[in-house]
């Protein structure tokens, strides 16, 4: 017979699993947690646990190293610095067993590298939640319908270039009109925001029994639009929106015979499953 305790434990376990953070994979993220930075700056350096601690994720690597070095050497002082000084026993504070270990230069470099993500500004989000195509695929296999995978490219892109097979829905972030308007600066057709983006998104999330804490992955062509869409969604309260960093097609090659072609990284170049045949359910959401 299953004990009462176990019956309570099962739904609790499922619930924790559904909202599980993506496991730390980078050395910087592991150090950030191991050295106790998470206690004030939050799990991802995104949501600080205290109003005194700044958001770190998404700041440049040089900035993080410069600021942290100044704090750890005791050179930088403000009315908030003592929070770090006390934990790490910096300056006049006597060292004993309760002091957090001060990061070495090498450790700080790794932390800074992870926090900055080495992404171009346009690919960064407020929440700083980024995921590779491979990790997205792995996580989706593990979480099934407890996570959402949304392709935010235009209908034309998915129609002609194909789409990852695991996508739950295509909700375009931008739309093209009737192809009668030209964007001189971009040398392309003119695009407009999809005015129904957040509305459709909210409806889809609700229809799947998910909520604003659920794990959501956004994919676009190469990671810029997905970053913008993630910012928009964080503004309306979604906390766990990941941008798939190099998108479906990936970055353009910078050199070589195939310079300018998208052959470098991203979903397709990682050999992950996709198809030109679209899933009707994902194109016409039943919501």
Q: What are phi and psi of 70, to 5 degrees?
A: -65, -40
Cβ-based nearer residue to ligand HEC, 44 or 132 = 44
Question: Min. distance of Cβ 217 from ligand HEC in angstroms?
Answer: 27
Question: Min. distance of Cβ 105 from ligand HEC in angstroms?
Answer: 12
Residue for token digits 């600021």? 67
Q: What is the bridge-based pairing of β-strands 215-219 and 147-151?
A: parallel
Q: What are phi and psi of 33, to 5 degrees?
A: -80, -45
Q: Give the footprint of ligand HEC on this chain (CB under 6 A).
A: 35-37, 39-41, 52-54, 56, 64, 67-68, 71, 78, 80-81, 83-84, 87, 103, 111
Q: Round to whole Å and give the CA distance between 55 and 47.
A: 7
Cβ-based nearer residue to ligand HEC, 71 or 169 = 71
Question: Min. distance of Cβ 182 from ligand HEC in angstroms?
Answer: 42
Contact predicate 90/99, CB 8 Å: no
Residue spans of alpha helices (H) in the chain: 4-18, 27-34, 38-41, 61-72, 82-88, 105-116, 133-143, 155-161, 197-207, 224-235, 266-269, 280-283
Question: Min. distance of Cβ 118 from ligand HEC in angstroms?
Answer: 16
Question: Min. distance of Cβ 114 from ligand HEC in angstroms?
Answer: 10
Cβ-based nearer residue to ligand HEC, 99 or 232 = 99
Question: Min. distance of Cβ 128 from ligand HEC in angstroms?
Answer: 13
Cβ-based nearer residue to ligand HEC, 41 or 228 = 41
Question: Min. distance of Cβ 72 from ligand HEC in angstroms?
Answer: 8
Cβ-based nearer residue to ligand HEC, 100 or 191 = 100
Q: What letter would DSSP give residue 273?
A: -
Cβ-based nearer residue to ligand HEC, 49 or 211 = 49
Q: What letter would DSSP give residue 83?
A: H
- Tokens coding 10: 């099962």
Contact predicate 223/244, CB 8 Å: yes
Q: What is the bridge-based pairing of β-strands 241-244 and 174-176?
A: unpaired
Cβ-based nearer residue to ligand HEC, 28 or 247 = 28
């Amino acid at each position: 017979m299953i004990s009462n305790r176990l019956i309570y434990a099962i739904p609790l376990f499922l619930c924790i699993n559904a909202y599980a953070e993506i496991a730390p994979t980078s050395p910087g993220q592991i150090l950030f947690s191991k050295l106790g930075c998470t206690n004030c700056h939050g799990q991802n350096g995104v949501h600080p646990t205290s109003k005194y601690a700044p958001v770190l994720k998404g700041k440049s690597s040089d900035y993080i190293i410069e600021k942290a070095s100044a704090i750890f050497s005791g050179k930088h002082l403000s009315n908030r610095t003592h929070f770090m000084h006390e934990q790490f026993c910096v300056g006049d504070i006597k060292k004993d067993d309760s002091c957090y270990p001060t990061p070495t230069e090498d450790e700080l470099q790794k932390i800074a590298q992870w926090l900055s993500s080495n992404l171009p500004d346009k690919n960064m989000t407020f929440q700083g939640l980024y995921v590779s195509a491979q990790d997205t695929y792995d996580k989706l296999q593990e979480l099934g319908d407890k996570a959402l995978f949304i392709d935010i490219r235009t209908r034309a892109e998915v129609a002609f270039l194909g789409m990852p097979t695991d996508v739950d829905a295509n909700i375009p972030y931008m739309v093209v009109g009737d192809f009668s308007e030209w964007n001189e600066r971009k040398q392309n057709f003119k695009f407009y925001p999809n005015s129904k983006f957040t509305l459709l998104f909210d409806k889809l999330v609700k229809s799947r029994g998910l909520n604003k804490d659920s794990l959501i992955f956004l994919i676009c062509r190469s990671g810029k639009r997905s970053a913008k869409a993630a910012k928009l969604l964080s503004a309306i309260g979604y906390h766990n929106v990941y941008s798939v960093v190099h998108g479906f097609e990936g970055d353009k090659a910078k050199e070589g015979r195939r310079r300018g072609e998208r052959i470098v990284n991203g979903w397709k170049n990682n050999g992950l499953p996709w198809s030109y045949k679209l899933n009707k359910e994902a194109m016409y959401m039943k919501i």
